[in-house]
Amino acid sequence: MGWNSWNKYADDFDEKIVRGMADAMVSSGMAKAGYTYIVIDEGWTSGRDANGKIIPNGKFPSGMKAIADYIHSKGLKAGIYSSPGPQSCWGKLGGGGYQGSWKHEEEDAQTFAGWGYDYLKYDQCTAGQVYDNTTQDAQAAYQKMGEALLMTGRAMVYSLCQYGAHDVWKWGAKAGGNLWRTTGDIGDRWESMERIGFAQIDISRYNKAGHWNDPDMLEVGNGGMTADEYRTHMSLWCMLGAPLMAGNDLRSMTEETKSILMNPEVIAIDQDRGEFHPVERLSGQGTFEVLARELSGNAYAVGLYNRGEQPAEISFRLDDLKFDTGLGSRRLVLTDLWKHAPVTATAKSSPPPYRSMASCC
């Protein structure tokens, strides 16, 4: 859980913004809600010095170590960005304009560790210029940096950003990844979020502790969707057990945005500490989706989603869930986690006598 600069700013951000986000993550309550990483995405490099060491550009005058130190002073963790290619993706002229780590993997890993970074987002970008478009080469490119990070001796989260090519969910962990993008970039609009989110269900089984499918960062609070659509976004990502990386301006959040990003009961679904059980589709007809995921503590999360444009009633049967009946006299409890209110099951639901269950949306 954390914040990343890309969705809001692309490469148009600077040190002041990064420091401000660290301040706001604490003052807003985001840190207490579990958001931990401040990740500096593409746009921070200017090239290499005479000794080949990667260096920041003028937007980061204090240097990258000082910024990591500041983030740490807030009780947070710091993230940084690079690419297995010669350059990154964007740049002022497009097509890649910032420094990548090609042929400097071990050196850059040591540099990032020496600066005190705790997270590396490694974006494919121009890797296609120097690697063949094969699964073998894709894995090799990411594994090279994964091994380099291990050699530093510093614990760093390793985020593979290669857009789901070559079924990365099947080999991302072998390359050292802790999370891997399963899709192209998300956009701040319903059509993008819906298409990406519901496409993740069939590969949810590849999640496991420490290694996660990443359907991209959150757009909550950026203004392109309604509050209901953002709640759907947050609910769906939590049902999937996806990384929760906010991408909005934390300094100017509305109370409604805060209520979505910091709903503790919904976050608890995403961050469930028990053995991970993949999300399952209980039913999916027309514009309706009913998803369920078993949680620890003898609980279930159930998501009821209306993908259509008109209001609708959606139901599910409690006996479609895998109940544990060995709970003595404990009773069934259902809660709407957005309304923070109890839900009553009808007789048609045929609820078993012993089970606790949470409904996420």
69-98 pLDDT, tens digit each? 999 999 999 999 999 999 988 754 444 579
Q: What is the pTM of this model?
A: 0.93
What are 14-29's pLDDT values in tens digits?
A: 999 999 999 999 999 9
The yes-or-no verdict on residue 113 having pLDDT over 50 is: yes
* CB environment 142-176: b (16+ within 10 A), e (fewer): bbbbbebbeebebebbbbbbbbbebebbebbbebb
Q: Percentage of the chain with pLDDT > 70?
A: 92
Express as a percent the part of the chain with pLDDT over 90.
Answer: 82
The answer to whether 88 touches 123, Cβ cutoff 8 Å, is: yes
- Are 45 and 98 in contact by the 8 Å Cβ rule? The answer is yes
| Candidates 118, 123, 216, 270; catalytic one | 123
pLDDT at 323: 65
Residue 286 or 296, more confident:
296
Q: pLDDT averaged over the chain?
A: 91
CB under 8 Å to 259, separation ≥6 — which residues? none
Tell me if residue 202 is catalytic: no
Strands in 333-336's sheet, in edge-to-edge order, are: 280-285, 288-295, 299-306, 356-359, 333-336, 341-342
- Compute φ and ψ for 100, nearest 5 degrees: -105, -175
Closest CA to 253 of 12, 28, 9: 28
Active-site residue, selected from the candidate residues 137, 185, 249, 320: 185
**What are the angstrom distances between the C-alpha of 305 and each of 188, 200, 309, 343, 356?**
19, 15, 12, 16, 21
Instruction: Output the six-digit token pair for 75.
Output: 């009780």
Delimit the domains of the chain by residue range: 2-270, 280-359
Residue of higher predicted confidence among 355 and 67: 67
Q: Name the pLDDT band for 356 (thresholds 50, 70, 90).
A: very low
CA distance 361 to 350: 21
Residue 320 confidence class, pLDDT cut points 50, 70, 90? confident
The pLDDT score that the predictor gives to residue 214 is 98
For residue 49, pLDDT over 70 is answered with yes
* CATH class for the domain made up of 2-270: alpha beta
Average pLDDT over residues 214-228: 98
Q: What is the pLDDT of residues 148-203, one digit of tens each?
A: 999 999 999 999 999 999 999 999 999 999 999 999 999 999 999 999 999 999 99
In the residue annotation, 185 being an active-site residue is answered as yes
List of residues 6+ apart from 285 with CB closer than 8 A: none
pLDDT band at 347 (very low <50, low <70, confident <90, very high): low
Angle at which helices 135-152 and 105-115 cross, to 10°: 40
